[in-house]
Structure 1
């Protein structure tokens, strides 16, 4: 296969040389077109960087308008011819090595002054040569693409561009979190296109948690893959993805152009550490140093989720204005079914304040809860019947972009119970009377008998004396 490729490259070189020779003896009758593949809805512009020259020994020359930029990057006409001959398809030209730097140097020129392409086809090409094609789309980066049109060609040349979205993406499996809850994150970004000549190029992914920490153990793995295979990475600034860390930063260890365009997927777990309904925020950043001077292109995505809460208000059943302090409630998590109401797991215990209210914070809006009164205020009866709370509702907010360009994805939730959950209390009843007249009559009768007996005793004694 390698021999065949070398042979084909040699034949292509000879063909170009012959084609170049033809330019010296006959007029160029080229009438070709270039179809640009894989641009989706990107806009495209192009320039011609190599054109016929009958006075040259090669039959070609660098276009006058761009020759100084190309040679300034230490690229010669022969370098471009060799790159063209190395490819089996005249539309697929190897732009690795120092040629890539020259093409990058022309990027802004092409986008500013190049000829626009209608759709994805350059029609009515009447000049043989090599064309530099640059697609452009907001949020995407495309590698420069070269297309070679042979002399006197009337064929359609296929050019294949390579591009990937700049924006790093982040998703979360659940849209709320409760006390000490663990959530799973997935980060995706396209493996970038980087010319090998960019010795200072790097691709870094950084992630920072607010009100959370990483969970990394045998049941919660930190995984980095490209496609279905593990991706080797290097720790940046000692920010390793280890248990209890609040941030990590990694970069591709060794760039592999064959992986360009594939999806890098990072999965990991984080535990909520916030207090009193503080949001769990997670900002992931990709940083691509692609240009020769090492300038970074960064994209950020922030995912924010909120815990819910439940507010309980205790009052006298006969007068709602009479709020009750020191009523104690417990809140339980359960599966939401009637048969398991009262059989849940204890989450928290609190007492009402002077306003008759208490708030259970950091409840997971994706779960179900019920409350039980365990202690009544003085003079009132305990109502120990489990009371299910109306579930909270989660709503994804419209995506927004912060002034620094960070894309924000946020989920908010309502309170359990739909607001303040009001629980009335009844006073303790007085002890009821039992047994008719009670002991009063017997007490009086006893006293009369005792007085009569005493009087009889003294009378009998006096008579005896």
Structure 2
């Protein structure tokens, strides 16, 4: 009997030790929440919002003030019973095959309701910053809210279900993928060297993303894309015009370009894409493509977006386009200091048979004007013998002299100048200059020179002599 008691005591001791070991092991147990696409965030924070509670019908209870956020988002008056209805709704939302106990009511959960609740939770205090942006270790089963911040992005507050099911309340790992939307606005132009001519039709593309708007924001759910342009005018209809606003995943247009009254900018209203508090379109790319006609020697263009009163893209570098400039100096007698005014030229682009047309500016320069009614092809050198033309694209151009200054002959060779880009993208206006010499006309003999004069005088003398002889002979006849 004593022996049995000793054995029982040993077994009891072992059981106690084993029980303590199991308790210690349970206390040290960890679950890993794997974070995907959070690695570039400036900050990642988490907080448990539902924890184990065996006194509740669901076995779970809200914590850290999250219950009131959820009951409000679900349209309920806050109470323990209302919170349990929400939790049962979340259980069903996570696993629709769960069978509810008799007498239990579940409040239907939707993505919009959950997003609204989480936006309220995100404003609570009590979040802990994670030191690792790839995973979070937790020691208690339940639901965790995870929020992140990153420059140039908006994030949706996420949730991780850790051991939220059978067997209760065992810890199980979870995985959460960040849902984020860039706030960047990218602007490009379909002209690789960024050099154009006045009158060219150029195509621009704007890329932006539908933002995640706080689901608690029901008063200011706005999203627009804007554009500003200088040196060109919008060309949205007509031959070769492009005018398009699309969103990935949609075959139709999702917005319309509306040009401002001053013609220097436009707005695309995309409020309908962010109207739903569940942010169904968040993160999707918006592409705005349009054409514009160059009207000045330089063009500057910039785009931005505006979401819920916040401006994005203000720091973007404008997309710039440039035109080229040619200068010709006309001089005479091989002396470059002998500038010739009033020489007339026409200018041809290589491969074209019709001369280019220009309008003369107040500064004396000729601006390329292919569409202007008052444009002329005639270019006249100024008092300094100069012709300065601007607004041209890259390529070779030939000055053909059509009228020389008084006292000089036309130089039939003319002058060819070429505009090229040094580097991949022009950083300033292209420029080239050249010179052309005219030769002074030679003196020609006068019509009817001195030889004719001599013959005329000799003829007159002969005629006078003949007349004298005639009258002398007649007088002799009369005397007889």
Q: Normalising by the residue count of structure 2, what TM-score does the alignment of the two structures yield? A: 0.71
CA distance in 2, matches of 1:119, 1:74: 29
2:5 aligns to what?
Answer: none
Does residue 86 of the first structure (1) align with residue 102 of the second (2)? no
What do residues 129-155 of structure 1 show as CA deviations (whole Å, max 9, x unaligned)?
222222322111111111121165454
**Alignment length, in residue pairs?**
397
Give the equivalent residue in structure 2 for 1:120.
134
Aligned to 2:212: 193
Quote the Cα distance in structure 1 between the aligned partners of 2:263 and 2:231: 12
Match of 2:173 among 151, 156, 162: 156
Q: Which of 312, 317, 327 is residue 298 of structure 1 equivalent to?
A: 312
Alignment check: 8 A CA contact 1:97 1:195 kept: no
1:264 correspondence with 2:294: no
What displacement does 1:71 show?
A: 6.9
CA distance in 2, matches of 1:243, 1:71: 46
Gaps of 5+ in 1: 1-25, 290-294, 335-339, 398-410
Post-superposition CA distance 1:185-224 (Å, at most 9, x none): 1111123234555333121112232232221225313111
1:103 equivalenced with 2:118 (yes/no): yes
In the alignment, which residue of structure 2 is the partner of 1:328?
344
Provide the secondary structure at the position in 2 that maps to 1:39: coil
Report if aligned partners of 1:233, 1:251 keep a CA contact under 8 Å in 2.
no
Which residue, out of 357, 368, 378, partners 2:406? 378
CA distance in 2, matches of 1:323, 1:116: 77
SS in 1 for 2:460: helix
- Structure 1 373/68 Cα, relative in aligned 2: closer, same or farther at 3 Å? farther
Further displaced range: 187-196 or 75-84: 75-84
Task: Select the structure that is richer in strand.
Answer: 1
In terms of Rg, which structure is larger? Answer: 2
Q: Deviation at 1:422?
A: 2.0
Q: Give the Cα–Cα distance (whole angstroms) in 1 for the partners of residues 35 and 443 of structure 2.
A: 92
* SS at structure 2 position matched to 1:283: strand
Q: After superposition, where does 1:30-429 map in structure 2 within 5 Å? A: 30-52=29-51, 54=53, 56-57=55-56, 58-64=58-64, 66-67=65-66, 70=69, 77-78=83-84, 79=86, 82-83=89-90, 85-87=92-94, 96-105=111-120, 107=122, 114-123=128-137, 125-150=138-163, 152-174=169-191, 175-194=194-213, 198-199=217-218, 200-217=220-237, 219-227=240-248, 229-233=250-254, 240-241=258-259, 245-252=263-270, 254-255=272-273, 257-274=279-296, 277=297, 279-289=298-308, 295-300=309-314, 301=316, 302-334=318-350, 340=351, 343=353, 345-348=355-358, 349=377, 350-365=379-394, 367-385=395-413, 387-393=415-421, 411-417=426-432, 420-429=433-442
TM-score by length of 1: 0.73
Structure 1 distance, partners of 2:244, 2:293, is 17
Could you tell me whether the CA contact under 8 Å between 1:330 and 1:374 is conserved in 2?
Answer: yes
